[in-house]
Amino acid sequence: MNRKIIAILRGIKPQEVIEVAHVIVQAGITQVEIPLNSPNAFDSIKLLRNEFKHTIQIGAGTVLNVNQVGVLIDIGVDFIVSPNFDSAVVSATKAADILSYPGVITPTECFAALDCGADGLKFFPASLLGQENLIALRAVLPADIPLYMVGGVGPENFDTWIKAGAHGFGVGSGIYKAGDSSELVAKKAESIVLSYDQAKNDK
């Protein structure tokens, strides 16, 4: 199953990123994001690229400016995620043929991001948007645009978000908190995959 789940490893260090990523992939999650406000984030991304060699999607999060995009282009990431919508970041990302997922919350931001070429929308924080608002937005947004919910989402509410029109999820502290052991991450990842699969089947 091609699960639309992005594991957000905020705070992870280069010396632990490979082991943690492996247990996440083994659980069935094949999109891993390293936020740039993590320690030595670019080093962690490079390590993942070398380890997995295009077998999973590796991306960067909390990307705030075109200078960061330039570094990520050189490294060779698959997707770039931001907490906000910045037209320059989206445009630079798309010029490099990298998937762009800007953060949005309002209809104006949604359509402005799509006009710049965004491949999908990251609703952040999703808890602020709410499921009723997502239902309303789904009525006007293009049906083929992936909508990722980030912030306040997890196994306990995947089902209601999917029924409201969410396509996927970015899960941060629910899968990894700084200092978590790979064993703990494995258990959390397995729970996330189980809940996601059940929610998709119950849709």
Which residues have a catalytic role annotated?
A: 33, 122
Question: Could you tell me the two tokens for 146?
Answer: 């992936």
Contact residues for 57 (Cβ-Cβ < 8 A; gap 6+)? 30, 31, 32, 78, 79
The helix (H) or strand (E) run that includes residue 155 is none
What CA–CA distance (Å, rounded) separates 116 from 100? 10
CB 181 within 8 A of CB 19: no
Q: Which of 109, 126, 118, 110 is CA-nearest to residue 164?
A: 126
Rg (CA), the chain: 16
In this structure, which amino acid lies at residue 113?
A: A
Phi-psi region of 104 (alpha: psi -120 to 50; beta: other; left: phi over 0): beta
Contact 178, 12 (CB under 8 A): yes
Q: What distance in Å separates the CA atoms of residue 199 and residue 44, rounded to the nearest whole number?
A: 32
